[in-house]
Structure 1
């Protein structure tokens, strides 16, 4: 294990995978008497294992109370990070000022901070792959970030580890994506990525997306641009056609640009077992698809001593167990010990890893 060093501080949520631990005190310097809880909406793992395979997934969300300036005025907040606990803090790149009292940070955000601080996940380099990221929140009056009427929270440090990418890359990426108010990103970019369905790459006109939607509408477009887009109805695609109405759920979405058709079916892989937070009844811990290596993955999964399996759509109709990293359809439960893990499942090659 490489040496632990201090690095950037970080804050983050996960729309998916972790559960609430203890709160840290959040004290504003400008008003020493004003204290509040710095509360995480998901429980923090002792260490965050960060993989570039799921850079767009949320890591953690920081939540804090409103700052008190003893006067009725709009207040803005900035999430800041530093390489050391008592060092110079600066705004976390790509976040910006906000008026709400919470901020999500993605795994990609965290990896960027780690890289800037000198961490690396390449085992052939001398750089360490573990460290501590330090964060605080800046509150200031109004919307002008240059305003010096400001307060700062106490500093919170999170331990992180950069994981080496040991999965062979297949690269099923395409120029197509799903866009709409039913998607996590809305009608603006980035779009939900669509992946090639033919691993040989011969048929490049059939694409698939695995995503969770809300009630709303979607369309399909190329290069996150409206110059080439499809809508439609009843399974038929039309160039520039109507928005497609959808209901909330987790789906597998297929489009065929040769036949100009689309289909949607409820589809999700998850982890179930007495070692998971919800036991053998579920709902299961969701796995997320990655078309860069054609695998399903979950990070920072907290397990207890017990057993797990993998199943489709929170149902026992299709389930996999196994042993020693090999999957078996309907196979034995997989024994695990308590800890926080990165789990990768390769249904194509019948393997799994729990690290």
Structure 2
């Protein structure tokens, strides 16, 4: 009887083991995601692709996560092409994340492959389209890959022609935000901050910021009309979206007042402090004068005064020829600013007998009468 009992127990154990083995043989079946895959980022109307900014972020492409119904990582392949048919394409990255940064250099390669260039001496256009799509897939064996591909995204790009006289194009930083004159518009005659005349990584600005309760503050943009790259702060350090891999926070502004702002983009240091401008002169007009200007030394060309900040002045599409120039107030020599320099930016001194030497070209020119800082932003040929 004891042997019979032991045999019965052994039989039950075998049946249990077989059942467990059959359970272990259960497999998941991969299937397409009914929601598909699509881009989620908003693209700019046009991307200006300058070789001088080739290492900058042009766009961070973002898409939704795809669920193939299996417990295995999903890979995403971002593809770029010069034809909407995608008869051939370049793989810009293969990642498991749902986003990928594309640089100006990446877009430039596609644009040039599409026959675009920035040489005004050729018939090749400098404006056109390039195309992107993203592919989600699992599996590595070609016979067992399950994949889904997004719709094609058309992107308009422009390769700016070289500025007149071969002027070096440098990084510009423009104010944007609800504490600034432009508000949260990235192309609203945004005020630039003033690049140091000797160190291209240091910028200055003295002026009004309309802070207060409910005001987010301000950021800095490198290109008008484009949200990327943008500069702000993260954990108390100035940083850009290129460095951070996402949008930084805005610089906060406590009050509607005048502030001094300095930033070094090379090391992420910045200073922002209120200043007293109650004794500063407010001028009726400020103009640009000199033999490099349309009026020569006989008459200045008036600049436009900012309605947001009466100490900021600008002139757009201003043509300079060989010669010199300086700034003066109220059409008289009582108050004038000059500096012995041919730099595109710097700090002119009130009452200086020196003049700035013009590099011939067309510029947007900005001047701050609080500290004498100026900047000439080259404009590309049409």
The structure that is helix-richer by fraction is 2
Asked if these proteins are the same fold (TM beyond 0.5), I'd say no
Structure possessing the higher radius of gyration over alpha carbons: 2
So what's the TM-score if we normalise by structure 2? 0.42
So what's the TM-score if we normalise by structure 1? 0.45
The structure that is strand-richer by fraction is 1
